[in-house]
Amino acid sequence: MVSASDSLNNIATLRNHRNARVSSYDTTGGNADFWVFNPGERRIIADVKGPGIIRHIWMTLMCAQDAYLRRIVLRMFWDDEDEPSVETPIGDFFGLGHAATTYFASLPLSMFDRGFNCYFPMPFYRNAIIDVQHEGSEGPLILYFYIDYEIHDKLPVRIP
């Protein structure tokens, strides 16, 4: 297991990559920085060309349906896969297997004030596609998100 101090060991090491982000920001310049999903709707929220590494995913969401954290499905596809490598209720992905929001912090996952964070490095060679599906039947899902990633010429042998 990597300790917090170990994660700082390479802080002064130059790395050859470009940082980028995809997000739910309002492309009109307004303040509607969220996406609305109707029941049953599934949409791609990130389609990133590689090689690269997803470094951080932040989300916050609202839905009127009971246990909505179990009714919203998150999928991740790497390198032109037909089937997802990750397919899970969104609450479970962020460490909330009981489908209720709470405050907690760990090295790879945290939740504070309804903001979900994931810091697992997720490398990909050709592309990464992330989608979300509202499998509930009551009301819309309101989703705010951003996904921070690095684009590399070639992936490092060891992902720091």
What six digits make up the tokens of 69?
A: 């954290």
CA distances from 142 to 41, 101, 124, 132 (A): 12, 16, 28, 11
Task: Tell me the whole-structure pTM to 2 decimals.
Answer: 0.89
Q: What is the pLDDT along the chain (160 residues), one digit of tens a residue?
A: 444 545 677 778 777 899 999 999 999 999 999 999 999 999 999 999 989 999 999 999 999 999 999 999 999 999 999 999 999 999 999 998 888 788 788 989 998 878 999 999 999 999 999 999 999 999 999 999 999 999 999 997 776 6
Domains of the chain by range and CATH?
37-151 (2.60.120.1390)
Rounded distance between C-alpha atoms, residue 108 and residue 126, angstroms: 24
8 A C-beta contact, residue 117 and residue 110? yes
Can you tell me whether residue 9 is helix, strand or coil?
Answer: coil
pLDDT confidence of residue 1: 46
